[in-house]
């Protein structure tokens, strides 16, 4: 999946689970960020193509790294409300009406809520691993296995249903995003329908096309 698709998968998962109705939009933002976070190992491309080939979908794409990164993201945003503050600053820069309300969750939260933030972030990072196992390879590139239990094991898993870069998934998420904006009171149902549509598309694409 692309970065956009990973973010939308995480955010829609949190919304579909009803978490935003209880905790507000910040929990969906945390899920979106965490869902894309395992691709930090793609930064190895800044050093060399060989480093990228050795590290991408390995160093950040395993259970251990996801637990650590998810915990870190959950803790940081829980303690300092980084994402609400960033949204507030962006809203002020763009002069968005009502931007002040974006900072309403910028205060530290209690331990119970921090535990929820961490759990959501970890689950979101795991969604990245699942997505990368299901969306892999192209007409010219071989499937890219995910070594879930690295560094203890280099064994990789991949169950390719959709080739990387397939536009169908992006279209599903874009339509879902517009639907969320249009029918905000029904956000949970919209996100659930988006995820079900995505799953159906991937199954049809993988087994019938």
Q: SS in 3 state form for 131-197?
A: HHHHECCCCCCCCCCECCCCCCCCCCECCCCECCCCHHHHHHHHHHHHHHHHCHHHHHHHHHHHHHH
Provide the number of structural domains found in the chain.
Answer: 1
Give the burial class of 22: count Cβ atoms within 10 A of its Cβ; 0-12 exposed, 13-18 middle, 19 or more buried.
exposed
Instruction: Give the mean pLDDT of 140-144.
Output: 85
Mean pLDDT of 44-71: 89
The whole-model pTM stands at 0.90
Full domain range(s) for residue 193? 3-207
Res 80: pLDDT:
83
Task: Determine the Cα angle at 98 with ends 73 and 3, to 5°.
Answer: 35
Query: What pLDDT digit, counting tens, does each position of 169-178 carry?
Result: 999 999 999 9
Rounded mean pLDDT, 62-74? 98
* pLDDT reported for residue 86: 77
Query: With bands split at pLDDT 50, 70 and 90, how would you rate the model's confidence at 158?
Result: very high
């Amino acid at each position: 999946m692309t970065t956009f698709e990973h973010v939308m998968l995480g955010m829609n998962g949190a919304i579909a689970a009803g978490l935003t109705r209880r905790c507000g939009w910040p929990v969906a933002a945390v899920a979106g960020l965490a869902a894309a976070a395992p691709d930090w190992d793609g930064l190895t491309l800044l050093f060399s193509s060989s480093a990228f080939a050795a590290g991408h979908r390995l160093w950040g794409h395993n259970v251990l790294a996801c637990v650590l990164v998810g915990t870190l993201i959950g803790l940081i945003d829980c303690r300092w409300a980084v994402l609400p503050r960033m949204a507030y600053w962006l809203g002020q820069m763009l002069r968005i009406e009502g931007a002040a309300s974006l900072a309403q969750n910028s205060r530290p939260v209690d331990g119970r809520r921090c535990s929820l933030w961490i759990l959501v972030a970890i689950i979101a990072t795991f969604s990245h691993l699942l997505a990368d196992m299901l969306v892999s390879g192209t007409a010219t590139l071989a499937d890219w296995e995910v070594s879930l239990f690295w560094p203890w094991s280099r064994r990789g898993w991949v169950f390719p249903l959709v080739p990387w870069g397939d536009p169908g998934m992006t279209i599903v998420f874009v339509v879902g995003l517009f639907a969320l904006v249009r029918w905000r009171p029904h956000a949970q149902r919209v996100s659930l329908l988006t995820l079900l549509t995505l799953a159906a598309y991937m199954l049809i694409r993988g087994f019938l096309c």
